Amino acid sequence: MTNQTHHETVATTPERYRTAVVPHIAVADAAEALSFYVRAFGAVEDFRLDAPGGGVLHAEIRIGEAVLMLGDRAEGHFASPAALGGTSAALHVYVPDVDALVGTAVAAGAELLQEPADQFHGDRTAVLRDLSGHVWVFLTHLEDVSGPELEARLGAAQQVSAH
């Protein structure tokens, strides 16, 4: 058995999440959002199609193994969280070191909503809000947890939070 810290991972992304739905988000200023995601989350810009009249029609980035599509908001059908007054979705991304990512993201201007902490489900998790208002849940996988163990841990976590 190795002596693991929360910075070392069992696997970068659990198998069931490796072929997930690709989110496509709208932002008020896609060029600025792309720059922010590179600085804050270590994103890599894979593709960018600028709109003929200015702005970004479509872009694709990678954060760790996750792919995200984004573009400038389009009135009538593709609104940013700021235009809606909030968001109903969170973007979950597995990364090798959630603590390091949080430090970089906060320094770049992200709002920390939940400090990194080990969770009952086997991941170390933190929650951030980006400059456009999107909520991000970053996770570092620590261990695989069986169904029965997950239920037992959830029960124990609920008892602790009730006290």
Q: How high does pLDDT run on average in the chain?
A: 88
**55 C-beta neighbours (distance < 10 Å), count:** 15
Structure tokens at 73: 């908001």
Alpha helix stretches (DSSP H) within 5-146:
30-41, 81-84, 98-107
Q: Which two tokens stand for residue 153?
A: 């841990």
Residue 2 has pLDDT above 70, yes or no: no
- Exposed/middle/buried for residue 82 (C-beta within 10 Å: 0-12, 13-18, 19+): middle
* pTM assigned to the model: 0.83
What distance in Å separates the CA atoms of residue 44 and residue 126, rounded to the nearest whole number? Answer: 21
Q: For the segment 111-142, what is each residue's pLDDT rounded down to a tens digit? A: 999 999 999 999 999 999 999 999 999 999 99
* pLDDT tens figures, 137-158: 999 999 999 889 989 988 888 8
Of 14 and 38, the one with more pLDDT: 38
* DSSP calls for 10-28: S-SS-GGGTTPPPPEEEES
- Which range of 84-88, 141-145, 158-162 scores highest in mean pLDDT? It is 141-145
Where residue 86 falls (left for φ over 0; alpha for ψ -120 to 50; beta otherwise) is left
What does the pLDDT read at residue 65? Answer: 86
Q: Are 68 and 16 in contact (CB under 8 A)?
A: no
Rounded Cα distance between 138 and 5, Å, is: 17
What pLDDT score does 11 carry?
A: 60
